[in-house]
Amino acid sequence: MSNKSDNKIIPIITGIIGFFGGIALVNNWLVLNREYPESEYLKVPFKPEAWGNIADWAMVTITLITAIYLIKTFKSQNKAIDLQHQALLEQQKITKIEQMMFKEKVKPYFSLNVVPKNQTINNDIAFYTYSFIFLLENSSANNIQITTSLFNSENNFGE
């Protein structure tokens, strides 16, 4: 149901209740006061001790109308909250994708070239000298620190 039809329902219901209330009021004044036995509820004019006064009935009517609009407001707020939650989930997905793209963009890429320099043989043991060339392939990486360690074991050869 759309908002336009919802806005028309309240006046229609109020009109119907007023119409039948008016018929009941006229019926009580013209018809019921003559034939029925004495009762506080059937006396015309209506006694406020039995039925309440117009302020009481106005308060009941306004309370009902307020309750109807509160229910409509809560439904509308629930729809808005659901839409915001869906938008938030979509935004979180987009944020994760953007973060991954940024990490890939700034990730440093290195190339390592190993160039043999010379070879020496001493007591049937071959010693090789290599040159390691590290190249930074992309220039977006800053403050790169490279830590190397050399492993030299005398027990690997010649025993």
Ranking 16-20, 42-46, 143-147, 148-152 by mean pLDDT, the lowest is: 148-152
Task: Yes or no: say if 50 and 41 are a contact pair by the CB < 8 Å rule.
Answer: yes
Dihedral sign (CA 33, 38, 39, 43): positive
How do residues 108-119 score in pLDDT, each as one tens digit?
777 778 887 777
Residue that is written with structure tokens 């004044």 in the block: 29
CA distance linking residue 54 with residue 48, whole number of Å: 9
pLDDT by residue (tens digit) across 25-70? 776 666 655 555 566 665 666 666 766 777 778 888 899 899 999 9
pTM of the model: 0.42
Are 57 and 24 in contact, with CB atoms under 8 Å apart?
no
pLDDT at residue number 158: 43
Q: From residue 130, how far is each of 88, 147, 148, 155 by CA, in Å?
A: 55, 17, 14, 20
Instruction: Give kind and range of the element (H or E) at residue 63.
Output: helix 54-106
The residue ranges of every structural domain in the chain are 3-97, 110-151
Q: Is the Cβ–Cβ distance between 127 and 120 less than 8 Å?
A: yes
